């Protein structure tokens, strides 16, 4: 596969898509933590329900991320990356309209599956597409942006919780 320069149009689009996809997945791990009281009241969720709402996503993400990377190597990085984006967006939209706790947990699992395909796909696309001389800078940029966005998750969650709009956490990360 031919590589492109980081500052070329193609290189910029690769970086933007990789950063946005990873950011969606990372922010979803942190934004929900601060809206738990609002979520609990809205859905009449128990403590165990809240545990599963938070951790169903992280459990699937952590347990399938290596499989996502391997699938990208075998079936094509772009194909698995795009499938991950599609699954994640569908899961996010469904979380935003979930009528109850059980549905929300199931849709969080779906999000985790999508995230497990997106995150390794985003980094492998950068590694395989960007010129080797600029690859370190590209990976550093990806890492810096996703870290800043991840730290912004609780801020976003808090603002939406204060406004009584906890469902928008899921809908705001779906493009």
Note the pLDDT tens digit of each residue in 18-76: 999 998 888 888 888 888 888 898 899 999 999 999 999 999 999 999 999 999 999 99
Whether pTM exceeds 0.85: yes
pLDDT of residue 175: 43
Q: What is the mean pLDDT of the chain?
A: 91
As a whole-number percent, the residues of the chain with pLDDT over 90 amount to 69
Name the CA radius of gyration of the chain, rounded. 17
Report the distance separating Cα 1 and Cα 88, nearest Å: 27
Other CB atoms within 10 A of residue 173 CB: 25
Q: What is the mean pLDDT of residues 1-20?
A: 91
Report the distance separating Cα 48 and Cα 43, nearest Å: 13
Other CB atoms within 10 A of residue 32 CB: 24
Report the distance separating Cα 145 and Cα 132, nearest Å: 20
Does residue 19 contact residue 118 with C-beta atoms inside 8 Å? no
Report the distance separating Cα 71 and Cα 79, nearest Å: 9
CATH class of 9-172: mainly alpha
pLDDT of residue 174: 44
Structure-model confidence comparison of residues 68 and 149, the more confident one: 68
Tokens 């772009």 belong to 78
Confidence tier at 169 by pLDDT (50, 70, 90)? confident
Report the distance separating Cα 125 and Cα 51, nearest Å: 33
Q: Say yes or no to pLDDT of 168 above 90.
A: no
Give me the numbers of helices (H) and strands (E) for the chain, helices first please: 7, 0
Q: What is the mean pLDDT of residues 128-139?
A: 93
Which residue stretches of 33-100 are H helix? 36-43, 47-75, 77-96
């Amino acid at each position: 596969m031919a590589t492109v320069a980081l500052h070329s149009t193609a290189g910029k689009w690769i970086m933007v898509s990789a950063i946005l996809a990873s950011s969606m997945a990372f922010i979803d791990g942190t934004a929900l933590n601060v809206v738990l009281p609002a979520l609990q009241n809205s859905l009449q969720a128990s403590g165990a329900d809240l545990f599963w709402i938070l951790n169903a996503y992280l459990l699937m993400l952590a347990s399938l991320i290596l499989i996502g990377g391997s699938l990208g190597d075998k079936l094509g990085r772009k194909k698995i990356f795009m499938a991950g984006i599609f699954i994640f967006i569908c899961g996010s939209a469904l979380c935003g309209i979930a009528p109850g706790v059980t549905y929300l947990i199931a849709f969080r699992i779906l999000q985790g599956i999508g995230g497990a395909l997106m995150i390794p796909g985003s980094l492998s696309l950068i590694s395989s597409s960007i010129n080797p001389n600029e690859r370190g800078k590209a990976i550093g940029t990806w890492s810096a942006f996703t870290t800043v966005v991840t730290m912004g998750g609780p801020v976003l969650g808090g603002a939406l919780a204060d406004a009584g709009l906890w469902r928008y956490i899921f809908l705001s990360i779906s493009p």
